[in-house]
Amino acid sequence: MSTGPIRLSQGAHTALRPATAARITGGFWAARRRVNAEVSVSQGPDRLERAGNLANLRAAAGPAPAESGFRGDFPFQDSDVHKWLEAASWQLAAGGEGPAEDELAWQVERLTGLVAAAQAEDGYLQTYYQLGPDARRWAEPHWGHELYCAGHLLQAAVAHHRATGADGLLDVAVRCADLVDATFGPGKNETVCGHPEMETALVELYRETGERRYLDLAGYFVDRRGQGSLGDGPAEGSPGPRPGAPYWQDHIPVREATAVAGHAVRQLYLLAGAADVAAETGDAGLRDALVRLWEDMATTKTYLTGGVGSRHELESFGDAYELPPDRAYAETCAAIAAIHFGWRMALLTGEARYSDLVERTLFNGFASGVSIDGERWLYVNPLQVRQDDESRKDATSDRSAHRTPWFRCACCPPNVMRLLASLPHYMASGDAQGLQLHQYASGSYEAGGGAVRVGTGYPWEGRIAVVVDTAPQDTDWTLSLRIPHWATAYEATVGGEPVAERAQNGWLRLRRRWRPGETVVLSLSLDPRLTRPDPRADGVRGCAAIERGPLVYCLEQPDQPAGLRLDDIALDPDATLSAEHRPELLGGVTVITSLALRHAVARDGWWPYRDGGAGSGGGTRPGVEAGGVEALDPVPVTAIPYYAWANREPGAMRVWTPLQPLTG
């Protein structure tokens, strides 16, 4: 069976179903998953011990929990443990042998035991409240994160059950879910949690246990939002921004919403959960709302990297086309949440565009969240860091453009771990007609009554070979290959012969009788390209970005000629973009070189604005060129994939670069 989080019920109302088996065996993602397993997941228990998370569990299990001090700054610290357990379980499910695997299994059982021991008799489990007065339980829905933590517990338990077949953690989750079900609902506690997450988790627990109450409760929570049970929330004592209803996702019912808004992770966890509900119930009204909200997000509020959440303030979505590159928040967790949401929409609708965006987010705004060595993390993923960015110097802030070994608010690292550990799940799907390949990674995939093996050097190389190992022998069967939305040119062959089919709506569907072992070769053109933004995107007007295949590129200081200031250059749109693979650089990347035009800004005095334009009062002062800049010699610049930035000494970086002529 599939090793991923979505195991649809038999009666689920989706266009596609996840692969029943999926393994990634080589290439880009295999390498990232190996680092994830050997470094990130492996170091997890030690990180959690140092941050106090495990001490909290031990204290809650002890004789006088209410008198023990809680360690950490946030009520949701337990969820870091749950997410690590989920990641480690998916890792175990993916298989492997040897001492490392034994050590991981031992750690999983150890932490599972700590979690189980910490659970209260009535099923309650959140050490922040267990180590404080009982009266606060369920009383602080805005900041308490109680259902959020419970949701991550449920997800960990489902993963653990699927990976090991053991019931221990699943029993803990069921007791917790039953307590929640007894506590919340019509006529009971009718508030929702300030942070969505329980919705998707309850649907997963329903799928794992068959207990319909959990699905019903998930549907209740989805529809209860926007009814004002949280409202604007409590006033804070500092003059900082005050979270309002959009922050808590209580400003409008999901069914009525037309725009993604508020806290990005909260919004997208909620939409992922709503998609799970729609998948299991066939609720067409809910599905239509989700399509509308995804379109609003993708079309007006998504960075080129797939990152979402434009504002540092309240970690929130901004207005349409508010996509500043420098102050992009684009939290790593929001990228993960967007992938969760997008994959569910791909299954629900069968449309390729959802997986187009999932691919973009995976390779860029998600992959940037963890260092090449798997030891350090980014919470925020900006698209530009200026030469003199002060935040680079503040290595202690969760929010700096600086990778750190762990965060005070450590939601992102175990979230990255669990997505990488379950990544095979996102590659392929099946339906009555056949198998769909959504993402390209060397490996083997079973779905839709067939099985294929993929071999590819993607994303560095555009050639993808798919061997059809198993297909129905007595009838036509369809292998569907997603043609990425960036691919303006591609070729496909079956058994060496060009195919006549062309992609429609992003799917190249090859329907035929297949001989076992027959090979399909898809070749995607990977010419480097310049990309321009929508003219309404104020933050990057007049700029272009370099892309190649699914990868967004950036210019980072260490790759440029000494002394070149990235703040003072423009891309030459007529210069050739040349790709070269460098196996020794940053774990092996293809770089792109081009020419940039340096300019010295001609400004006299202290004021950074000047007369300009040809309006009646405009005109340029004598001695200053139009545009106020003086062009110097072109210089070579080298771009690296965005995901690989911030792995060397701190320095300037930019994805978007002005194009000549500078109209500044």
Q: Check if 208 is active-site.
A: no
Specify burial of residue 160 (Cβ count, 10 A radius: 0-12, 13-18, 19+): buried
Burial, 209: exposed, middle or buried (Cβ in 10 Å; 0-12, 13-18, 19+)?
middle
Instruction: Identify which of residues 353 and 402 has a Cβ nearer to its own copies in the complex.
Output: 353
DSSP 3-state assignment of 416?
Answer: helix
Specify the residue, 246 or 273, whose C-beta has the smaller distance to its own copies: 246
Q: Between residues 312 and 453, which has the closer beta carbon with respect to its own copies?
A: 312
Return the sign of the alpha-carbon dihedral for residues 509, 512, 514, 520: negative
Kindly tell me which of 299 and 473 has the beta carbon lying closer to its own copies. Answer: 299
Q: How far apart are CA 472 and CA 474, in angstroms?
A: 6
DSSP one-letter string for 266-304? HHHHHHHHHHHHHHHH--HHHHHHHHHHHHHHHHHSB-T
Instruction: Using DSSP, state whether 98 is helix, strand or coil.
Output: coil
Q: Is 315 a catalytic residue?
A: yes
Give the residue with the Cβ less far from its own copies, 423 or 545: 545
Q: Provide the b/e sequence for 402-413 (b: ≥16 CB within 10 Å).
A: bbbebbeebbbb
| Catalytic one of 86, 146, 280, 315 | 315
Find out whether the peptide bond into 459 is cis, omega within 30 degrees of 0.
yes
- Among the options 193, 333, 411, 543, which is catalytic? 411
Q: How far is the CB of 143 from its own copies (least distance, A)?
A: 7
DSSP 8-class letter at 5: S
**Per-residue buried b or exposed e for 453-481, using 16+ beta carbons within 10 Å of the residue's own CB:** bbbbebbbebebebbbbebeeeeebbbbb
Q: What is the side-by-side order of every strand in the sheet holding 490-494?
A: 21-24, 443-447, 450-456, 463-470, 518-524, 490-494, 497-498
Q: Exposed, middle or buried, 616 (CB in 10 Å: 0-12/13-18/19+)? A: exposed
Q: Residue 164 is inside which H or E element, if any?
A: helix 146-164
Nearer to its own copies, 281 or 332 (CB): 332
Helix axes of 264-281 and 212-224: crossing angle, nearest 10 degrees: 130
DSSP code for 14: -
Helix (H, G, I), strand (E, B) or coil at 369: helix
With respect to its own copies, which residue has the nearer C-beta, 181 or 315?
Answer: 315
Task: Indicate the residue among 118 and 662 with the shorter CB distance to its own copies.
Answer: 662
The phi and psi torsions of 592 (rounded to 5 degrees) equal: -125, 125
Question: Which residues are known to be catalytic?
Answer: 315, 411
